[in-house]
Amino acid sequence: MNRTLPSQEKVRSFRKLIIALSVVIPLAVALLFGIKIDGLDFSFLPPVYATINGITAFVLIFALVAIKMKKISLHQRLIQFALVLSLLFLVAYVLYHMTSDSTPYGGDLKYLYYFILISHILLSVVVIPIVLFAYLHAWKGDYDKHKKWVRFAFPIWLYVAITGVVVYLMISPFYG
């Protein structure tokens, strides 16, 4: 594939951006949870962002199939689409939680629900730098490092996407 590789300066800038985003996104989400905006109704968003998570999971699987079939351009577009979907999820998730009260889980599977929820949340923080560094290595053409990062990035990202749907399905009967 003929393409221009990024300069070392661009790579350094992207690396700094990854580190900044890896700190800023989780902190901003945590801080925004403390902000409640009255008068806006985004109660329709949980099924929307659960659907986005589900689509992300399928896109990630299709991206894996594409790269196994050596369809590099398709793989790249699918991963970029998965990144956009993850960003859309984040925006919808924050909007919902800034305008709505948290819903307590009221089912019999409380321990399972909280295990899935907590692992989902923790891994959603961890996945940010791992995915972005994997992307960086592909962007700069270092496919050996890209593959090493993807060994961790792919299963974590897929787990976060799938458990986002599972958490929604488990909590949805308890929405007010």
Q: What is the pLDDT of residue 2?
A: 57
Residue tagged 């659907």 (tokens): 51
The string of pLDDT tens digits covering residues 109-142 is 999 999 999 999 999 999 999 999 999 999 999 9
Question: Residue 23: its pLDDT value, please?
Answer: 96
CB contact burial 122-146 (16+ within 10 A = b; e otherwise): ebbbbbbbbbbbbbbbbbbeeeeeb
Write out pLDDT tens, residues 40-80: 999 999 999 999 999 999 999 999 999 999 999 999 999 99
Assess whether pLDDT exceeds 80 at residue 176.
no
